[in-house]
Chains A and B, each alone.
Chain A
C-alpha cells in the first residue's frame, strides 16, 4: 500500500511571501507523482504530474521538483497571493491505476 505524507499540515503566510511544502512517498516501485490544488467549494485540479528524478515543472509562480531516489517532492509558490489560498495535495500514481493522496497542506495567504 502506497503511503504518501505531506508537511506541514497547514501554513499561514503574508501576501508576497514565498513558500514551499513537502510531499514524501515510497521511493521503491515509483511511477508518478501528482500535485493538485483544491480550492474551497471547488473540485481538486491537477497542477503537475512528474515522473523523472530531478524533474522540475513550473506553472506561473508555482513550481515543483522531484527526487525519486529519496522519495520526496517540493512545491514552491513564489510571491504568494490571496488567490493561492487552497489545499495542495500530492498523490502517488501506481501502475495498477490507483492514485493515493496525502492529507494535503492547507495554505492561507493573508492580504
Chain B
C-alpha cells in the first residue's frame, strides 16, 4: 500500500533562518507531488506541484522554492524565512496518468511552522 511521510511535525524557526521540509512517498512510482499551505484563517493554498523529477510548477510567487531530487521525494525550502511564512504545510501525492484531473489526493500529516 502507498504511504506518505512528512516531517517534521512542528517547527519553530527565527526570521531569516533557512527552511527545509521533506516529503517522501512509498508504494507508488512517478506520483504527482504537491505542497500546500494553510495560513491562519485562510484556505489550503497550492504552492508547488511536480509531475516528474526535476519538474516544478509554482502557483504563486513567494519566498519559497521546491525541488524533486528523486521520484518520490519532494522538498520545500527557503533561504530566509519571513514571519508571513508561518502556517500549516501539507504534502500530497496523486497517481500520474492521462486522467490526472480525476485522481484523488492523499495527504501527509502536515508540518506546523511558526516563524518567530
Number of interface residues of A (CB under 8 A): 26
Quick one: given A34-B104, A43-B110, are A101 and B59 in contact (CB under 8 Å)? no
Chain A nearest CB: distance from B54 CB in Å?
Answer: 15
Segment among B15-23, B42-50, B61-69, B79-87 that sits at the interface with chain A = B42-50
The interface of chain A, by Cβ under 8 A from chain B, is: 1, 6, 31-32, 34, 36, 43-46, 49, 51, 89, 91, 93-104
A4–chain B nearest beta-carbon distance, Å: 9
Of the residues B32, B44, B105, B108, contact of A104 by C-beta under 8 Å: B44
Given that A43-B110, A98-B57, A99-B94 are known contacts, is A93 also in contact with B46, CB under 8 Å in the complex? no
Beyond A43-B107, A43-B110, A93-B101, whether A100 also contacts B57 by CB under 8 A is: no
Question: How far is the CB of A45 from the nearest CB of chain B, in Å?
Answer: 8
CB within 8 Å for A101 and B43 given contacts A34-B104, A49-B102: yes
B11 located at the interface, meaning its Cβ lies under 8 Å from any Cβ of chain A in the complex: no
Q: List chain A residues, Cβ under 8 A from B51.
A: 96-97
B34 at the interface (CB under 8 A from A): yes
Q: Does B116 contact A (CB under 8 A)?
A: no
In the complex, chain A residues whose CB is within 8 Å of the CB of B73? none
Closest beta carbon of chain A to B15's beta carbon, Å: 27
Give every chain A residue within 8 A of B94 (Cβ-Cβ). Answer: 97, 99
Taking CB atoms, residues of chain B closer than 8 Å to A31 are 101-102
